[in-house]
Each structure stands twice: as C-alpha cells, then as structure tokens.
Amino acid sequence: MCFNRAFLLLLLTCPFSSSAQLTLSVETILNKPEAGGMLRLALCPNKDAYDSEEGCVLRSVTADGRSVRCTFSGVAPGTYAVKVFHDINADEELNTSWIGWPKEPYGFSNDAPVNMGPPPFKLAAVVIDKDKTIRIALR
C-alpha cells in the first residue's frame, strides 16, 4: 500500500516529457517564380539560434513554381521562427548590396516586418503544438 501511494505521488509530481514529434510545413510564396534557383530555409528553436543560425535545422528545396512547400519532420513541440531566402543564383548565400540590403527575396514566419535588418525572434515566433502549415510571402 505504501509503495502504491509513493508511486502515485511520484506520477503526480513529476512533469511528463512530451515525446511527440510534429510536422511543420512551410509554404513559401515566391515573388520571382520565374527566377529558378533554390529556397534556403532555417527552422530556429530560440533567439540565439535565430540570430546565429547555429542550432537551426536547415533545408534547401528547388524554387519551382509560384509556391514551394518544405516540410520539417520530427519537430518537438515548442516556439520556433523560420527564415527563408530565394537563392536565385544558387550560391548558398543571401547576396546583399554594398550597404547590406538583400538583393535576393527573403521572408520570415508570421511575415514579420523588416526594419533595417531582420525582425526579432519574438515577432517571427510561431508556437508548434500540433502538426501545422505556415505561409511566408517573400519580399
């Protein structure tokens, strides 16, 4: 009887870890669909990863058509932000002007606004608590 109560107490006081793995689909709307090239996406789990891209899950998909879907599988529930750019010349870099302004189309989850640089993580953040599809329109 004591063991059962102790076990029940342990179950009630220990947080359950969610091992659920989810799927995030990102539908990117291209503003230059005829340009070809690749889409480069980064799924970032926190502000530090978002700022540095270290710890982000990176994907590349062919930019073919007006909208392109990329799926991230095995995503743990949590808050993430997505960055994407249309690598028109497929050089694996976001090309910029001499003042640092992007020459290739780009976008962020929540279509977060850009003011003199990328939006902060909190504006691009999306809660992933179930399988989800988000849309990003490139600028």
**Domains contained in the chain, number:** 1
Q: What Rg, from alpha-carbon coordinates, does the chain have?
A: 19
Look up the domain containing 48 and give its range: 18-137
Confidence of residue 70 (pLDDT cuts 50, 70, 90): very high
Distances (CA, A) of 7 to 2, 12, 14, 18, 24: 9, 9, 11, 20, 37
**Closest by CA position to 88, among listed 102, 72, 70:** 102
Distances (CA, A) of 115 to 3, 9, 120: 60, 51, 10
In a domain, 3, yes or no: no
Confidence of residue 38 (pLDDT cuts 50, 70, 90): very high
In a domain, 10, yes or no: no
Q: Is the pLDDT of residue 5 over 90?
A: no
pTM here?
Answer: 0.85
Residue type, 69: R
DSSP symbols for 92-127 = SS--B-TTS-BSS-EEEGGG---SSSPPPHHHHEEE
In a domain, 123, yes or no: yes
What integer pLDDT is reported at residue 16 of this predicted model? 43
In a domain, 100, yes or no: yes
Element containing residue 25 per DSSP (H, E): strand 22-29
In a domain, 11, yes or no: no
In a domain, 4, yes or no: no
Greater pLDDT, 15 or 20: 20
pLDDT tens sequence across 115-138: 888 999 999 999 999 999 999 999
SS3 of 45, please?
coil
- What CATH number corresponds to the domain at position 122? 2.60.40
